[in-house]
Chains A and B, each alone.
Chain A
Amino acid sequence: MIEFHVNNEPVSFSGDEDTPLLWILRDHLRLTGTKFGCGIGSCGACMVHIDGRASKACTSKASSVAGKRITTIEGLASPRGELHPVQQAWIDEDVPQCGYCQGGQIMAAVDLLNSNPEPSDEDIASKMRNICRCGTYVRIRKAIHRASTTMRKGT
């Protein structure tokens, strides 16, 4: 039995300890905002936060998350539904096309801004490694700059 927290709720998992967190979230906890894109840690569609840092759920085995605190895209807004500034910036810049990669992109962007509150274009390009097949990179970049501004203003 592996116990951990997802979006501040305690959860336990008693299946195969090698099961990737991705499939526990999706198939067992029905948190489907975390997406399957490649399964090899390459695309970032499955990005979640494990103890506050962006991590790929497809390559994180159940055994590795015991006792950890996990946040998924569903848990990013406040419990009262106030969006995280990064989510709001994504809306203000109208980022998504198909939308499939965007949960992972947002989780990666939040981590980037937590560690680097005022990233340059180069910082963004080197840290934002998630694939967007629809090609929303231009707007992702703008949204990160916008979120950086609002977060630093503390609004």
Chain B
Amino acid sequence: MIYSLWEEMKQAWRALMSNKVRSALTMLGVIIGIFSVITLVTIGEGAKAYVTEQIQSLGAGYDSFVMVAGKDHSVPPTPKFVYADIAYMELKVPEIRDIVGLNPGGGEVTYGKKTIKPSLVGGVTANYLDLMGGKVIEGRFFTAAEVDSRKKVMVIGPTIAKEFFGTGLAVGEKIKLRGDSYQIIGVMEARGSVGPMDLDKRVVVPITISQNMLGTDKIMRFNIFPKDISKITEVQEKVRQVMMRRIRSDDFSFMTQQGILSIVNNILAALTGFVSGIAAISLLVGGIGIMNIMLVAVNERIREIGVRKAIGAKKRDIVLQFMVEAMMISLLGGIIGIIVGIFGAFLIIWFIKGSFVVAWWAVIMATVVSASVGIFFGVYPAFRAAELDPVVALRYE
């Protein structure tokens, strides 16, 4: 059985190849159907990965949420938080375990004649590295006391350390940032990139200093860690109430990895539903096209069917022959659709500089679906062929 399946496949392949244009045209419906789904799913998976990376680069893992100044992301936010808000929130909302404060800023660092533009010049709280993940491999991180007393100290990423000091020690050296001189007290461990941000090329200073540096005492962002992660929404709500009263404004917003991902997922689900509808229609049309061409093929080969029966083909063999051929058309169409779809998605993602992820579940599903289309629409022509009376088939001109 398996053996004759292989034989049928070889012969089906030849039959398809002897009529290339017709086979290709027949595949078109399946190609388009599979192509559209694969393109969308691949772009969608890329979007998800991109969004996840972006959120992770804000430091929001699954155990915290981000509180950020501004509501509407289309206008630059005017931060209204201050350093003292951290202690205030921890006091008013006892469900909070920790709060990391972060002020992202830009600028260049200079050592001697060398100047580097770090990926991030961040003003952060003393718990930053512990909570956002990371270690110091040389020296130490700054303490809460140093933050409170606005010490001009700095912890730098390993890439910066290497570019400035090579294999030599960084700790103890002084670096210039926006005219001020900072003492290096630590070098962070290499961590690579998260999304667009190269973590190894960041520098951090006490958040209280960065306020000086940016010319305002306001803070952009907090990462809030609840004691019990399952209470994340309740904690968020409490923080909202507390802070609204305190700063008399609701011009801030929250982000959780799950929250944002679920928005992305919802949009993708709606889009996927829509495209799947179109794909289903084109697969249906493609399937009917396959059925039609297979009926033509049966008619063209009535005599062949008679001969095959005369030399001993059973009904089963004839059914198999035409089913394999129909399945091959649709499977081939599916595979072409998958390849073109992934390639198309790759081009689009490359163009918009997003993340490219092949959704293997979608590839497998597309393969199964396209093969099933052939099987489903090939059944009727195959049985028509198998039911032919051999004598009539042999006499057929």
Partners in one complex: no
Q: List residues of chain A with CB under 8 Å of any chain B CB.
A: none
